[in-house]
Chain A
């Protein structure tokens, strides 16, 4: 019997989730710019509404263009299904409200995107959901922070902006022992560099705005389910294992088995909260995903060239990247991110806050803006922008220093990037 053959990553990036358009034969994924879909008859309509048939009703819940992106991302991550959302933050919110309600508790890494920290620390408490933050390398801290009302363990694969590599297998084991799922924000890694489900994660989210899109033209998010977490055995998730009056008493785990979480997230979460992805946005992100493997290789190669330069630049006090041997998670990065540890670099400029400001104002090829993962190279000063809502204690816990520059290395010629860094560093330190 022939050995099993499955399409590989680069092939899936271009083809997964799509059959040529049945109406026109279009090879590219068409933009189905429609809100709604004609039913065959009343029975067809009723069966669609009651989850007896697959298909499309209204584009807030599902759309054919968005569905191709969802299936493609599920294929790339190795998940059973995906739900795409209006933004990465919408994906995070959708996961939380699918898993818990008032009284729920989250254990989260302290090294997170500032927007996620805001949601956990300031916004969710208004709705009765609390969070305990734990340093991402503190495995015992994760264990001790879990309470009877905890419903989720959350972290980023690569912490923001400290670039801590999460010990995914160890944290997954801690979560699973407590009958909890581990959800990871894998935005910085993309499925090309790390496949969290292969290391024990249960749910992955992306800000697809970043490397998945790669062009910086569309805000987008995605939520993907591994399909391994046994909600029934856990017994902690009535939204997935008990009858839901919002769909005639449906029990999602009973009906849909390994796809229970994404089905509930779509059927309830998109229907009721409504943070759906627009079809044109899905089209934009698909253009990026098609070239994801090629772009990520270049992101990683350019990052390695820039790391070499920064390590020798006299104006630079320190450099943080998991590929550097002195990084505390270097060995873990080699194991979990064998193709490269991403294209975000943090470094400290000698001269502190003032030198940092001057550097950012002098760069020419690099753009100063609040984004990462663009094809273009970007720089930002986290203490005054992305993490400005944090107090001094939270900044310290998140590993953000006042001299820290966060850089997102793009796809330009590496020599041009290094030349730009040279002139800006020289000018900044001269004052």
Chain B
């Protein structure tokens, strides 16, 4: 569906079911240079099991107008405005990478709006190597190749995708070309790199929280994710085997199983 947030038209996928603000809401927030399609399976499952789903394309990404958020804090505020636009008083927030950082900030700043928090591929700092930022600004194809290499575990590099016949690596290439075009990827990476509020936000989270990490994640290593989990009161932790940074596509079943257990019945 299409919503208006900050005066710009936003596309939000609803998992194949109409969004009903009277049902419990779950918002899936994608990471840098991506769009809602990274959540295709999980969003569809959750939407068909009693939840109202919002899986937006962030501003400037994919089908959404506007400019890419200038900071993680700005994206956190945007998420709350998205809930307003959809008529959702509270929602479970499920974020990946940059989207997870923004969901963490939103949960800390707007505790009344966030029922549950699931953070995938997240750490208290999301520093980005200056070479990658430089490539995203000057040579997007090189940046794309760096991300495809660094973001994936064995199923992304060689294959063995649980989804029959689909290539994880090449789908990532085409998605970054599409959703991260026009400087969007570079802006996202700079926002991640500049984010310094993770530790403070972690201390202020009051809702039930789950972290899902990839055992072979080279972008947000599991060690850093464990430290973040330790800083959030009562946080649950799942480290997925044979998995890099893109757990929703590399280990879609394990990711969904942990999410559905955490979210519980709608």
> Interface residues, chain A, CB within 8 Å of chain B?
1, 4-7, 12, 15-19, 47, 50-56, 62-64, 66-68, 70-72, 74-75, 78-84, 226-228, 230, 232, 248-250, 254-259, 262, 266
Contact = CB atoms under 8 A, between A and B. Distances in A.
B146 A50 contact: no
B40 A75 contact: no
Contacts of B256: 52-53
Contacts, number: 147
8 contacts: A6-B148, A18-B158, A19-B154, A53-B253, A70-B165, A75-B159, A83-B165, A259-B171
Given A54-B253, A79-B170, A72 B159 contact: yes
Nearest to A70: B165
B66 interface: no
A55 B161 CA distance: 10
Given A1-B132, A50-B44, A74 B158 contact: no
Contact of B45 (A52, A232, A248): A52
Given A4-B149, A6-B145, A249 B16 contact: yes
Given A52-B48, A53-B41, A80 B162 contact: no
Contacts of B177: 228
Contact of A5 (B63, B132, B149): B149
B164 A62 contact: yes
Interface string B137-170: 0000010011011100011011111111111011
A144 B164 CA distance: 39
B37 A74 contact: no
B199 interface: no
Contacts of A255: 13, 16, 37, 40, 44
Interface of B: 13, 16, 35, 37, 40-41, 44-45, 48, 62-63, 129-132, 142, 145-146, 148-150, 154-155, 157-167, 169-171, 173-175, 177-178, 242, 252-253, 256
A78 B174 CA distance: 10
The 4 closest A-B pairs by CB, nearest first: A19-B160, A70-B165, A257-B37, A54-B163
Given A4-B149, A6-B145, A67 B35 contact: no
Contacts of B242: 19
Contacts of A262: 165-166
A37 to B, nearest CB: 11
B40 A71 contact: no
Given A15-B158, A19-B160, A250-B16, A258 B174 contact: yes
Nearest to B167: A74
A421 to B, nearest CB: 42
Contacts of A17: 158-161
A79 B44 CA distance: 24
B108 to A, nearest CB: 31
Contacts of B155: 19
Contact of B160 (A12, A18, A53, A266): A18
A256 B39 CA distance: 9
B48 A50 contact: yes
A67 B164 contact: yes
B40 to A, nearest CB: 5
Given A227-B171, A258-B171, A258-B175, A71 B253 contact: no
Which of A68, A255, A256, A266 is packed against the most chain B CB atoms within 10 Å?
A255
Given A54-B252, A257-B37, A4 B167 contact: no
B149 to A, nearest CB: 4
A256 B165 contact: no
B20 to A, nearest CB: 15
A4 to B, nearest CB: 4
A6 B165 contact: no
A87 B207 CA distance: 55
Given A1-B129, A19-B242, 16 more contacts: A4-B149, A18-B160, A19-B159, A50-B48, A54-B163, A62-B164, A68-B160, A70-B165, A79-B167, A80-B170, A80-B174, A230-B178, A257-B37, A258-B37, A262-B165, A266-B164
A124 to B, nearest CB: 26
A71 B170 CA distance: 10
Nearest to B155: A19
Nearest to B129: A1
Contacts of A232: 63
Which of A5, A17, A255, A257 is packed against the most chain B CB atoms within 10 Å?
A257
Contacts of A6: 145, 148-149, 157, 169
A1 B146 contact: yes
Which of B166, B169, B253 is packed against the most chain A CB atoms within 10 Å?
B166
A316 B198 CA distance: 77
B76 to A, nearest CB: 25
Nearest to B62: A257
Nearest to B158: A15
Contact of A67 (B142, B165, B253): B165
A80 B171 contact: yes
A7 B44 contact: no
A249 B166 CA distance: 22
A230 B157 CA distance: 25
Given A6-B145, A19-B158, A80-B170, A74 B175 contact: no
B170 A54 contact: no
Given A70-B164, A255-B16, A51 B44 contact: yes
Contacts of A4: 142, 145-146, 148-150
Which of B35, B44, B178 is packed against the most chain A CB atoms within 10 Å?
B44
A80 B159 CA distance: 12
Contacts of A248: 16
Contacts of B173: 227
Contact of A254 (B13, B160, B174, B178): B13
